[in-house]
Amino acid sequence: MEYTPKTSIKNWANDDKPREKLMLKGRNSLSDAELIAILIGSGNTKESAVELSRRILSSANDNLIELSLLSLKDLMKFNGIGEAKAITIIAALELGKRRRSAEARERKTITSSKDVFEQIYALTSDLHYEKFWVILLDQANKIIRTVEVSEGGITGTVADPKKIFKLALEGNACNIILCHNHPSGQLKPSDADIKITERMKKSGEILDIRVLDHIIIGADSYYSFNDEGIF
C-alpha cells in the first residue's frame, strides 16, 4: 500500500506557505483562503489549513460578505474549526467591517449617493433584519451625525417623521438623508418605502429641512431615490 503524506503546510515550498508568502511577496499576493489559513493556523487530518479555508469560503460562495454572515456554530461545523478558530475568523471579519466604516467616516462631506452607500454599507453588511438610519447634514452637506432610528422593519410607525425631524432639529441639521437596508438584497423599493419617503419629504418642506435622498442598501449595491429621479 502506497503511503500518502498529510497535506501539511510544513511540507510545502516556502512560496506556497501563507505566512512566508506574505513576508516574501506582501499581503496583496495572498488569496482570501490563504489569509484565512493564517488565521486558523492548521487544518485537520485530511486537509491543510489552506484547503480547509478554501472549503469554508466555498460554502459561502467564495464571498466574504456571505462568510461574515456565518455564526460561531456554522463555522464550528467544519472539521478542524473549534471555538477559538471560529472566534478568530469572526473577529477578523469584524475588524475589516470596522475599518471600512472608519474610512467612510473620514469623508465628512456627502457629494453623491455613492458617498452615502460607503458611509452606511459597513453597518449593514452582516444584518439579517432591516434597520433605518438618518444622516444629519449641515448646509454644506457635511455630516453632523449618523443616527440609527429603528430596526426590525420599515413602516410608518418605525420610521416616524416626528422622531427623525426631532433629531434633525436637535442636531441643527439643514439637510437629511434617509437610509435603510434590505437583507434580501432586493433593491426595488416597496410601497412602504415609497410612502414613507413621500411623508418625510412633505414633513421636511414644512420644517425647511430638505430630504436629499433615500438610499436602500442591498448585499453589495444600492438604490437611490434621487438618482432614479423620484425626488
DSSP for 47-92, written as a single string: S-HHHHHHHHHHHTTT-HHHHHT--HHHHHTSTT--HHHHHHHHHH
Report in angstroms the alpha-carbon separations of 151 from 54, 128, 143. 34, 11, 22
d(CA 89, CA 82): 11
Q: pLDDT higher for 97 or 214?
A: 214
Grid coordinates standing for 21? 508568502
Residue 119 predicted with pLDDT over 90: no
The chain-wide mean pLDDT, for the chain, equals 87
Residue 203 predicted with pLDDT over 50: yes
Angle at the Cα of 190 (from 188 to 193), degrees rounded to 5? 110
What are 176's strand-pairing partners? 136, 211
- Per-residue model confidence as pLDDT tens digits over 161-198: 899 999 999 899 999 999 999 988 889 998 989 999 99
Q: pLDDT higher for 88 or 25?
A: 88
In this structure, what are the phi and psi dihedrals at residue 134, rounded to the nearest 5 degrees?
-130, 135
Residue 15 predicted with pLDDT over 70: no
Mean pLDDT, residues 98-124 taken together: 82
d(CA 36, CA 62): 12
Q: Which helix (H) or strand (E) holds 40?
A: helix 32-40
Contact between 127 and 217 under an 8 Å Cβ cutoff? The reply is no
Q: pLDDT higher for 204 or 106?
A: 204
Which pLDDT does position 154 carry in this prediction?
53
d(CA 59, CA 86): 15
Which pLDDT does position 198 carry in this prediction?
93
Residue 221 predicted with pLDDT over 50: yes
Grid coordinates standing for 20? 512566508
Query: What stretches of 64-207 show up as alpha helix (H) in DSSP?
Result: 64-68, 72-76, 83-106, 113-124, 161-170, 191-207
For residue 182, the 8-state DSSP code is -
Q: pLDDT higher for 130 or 108?
A: 130
- Per-residue model confidence as pLDDT tens digits over 54-96: 999 999 999 898 899 899 999 999 999 999 999 999 999 999 8
Residue 215 predicted with pLDDT over 50: yes
- Per-residue model confidence as pLDDT tens digits over 128-160: 888 999 999 999 999 998 999 987 765 544 788
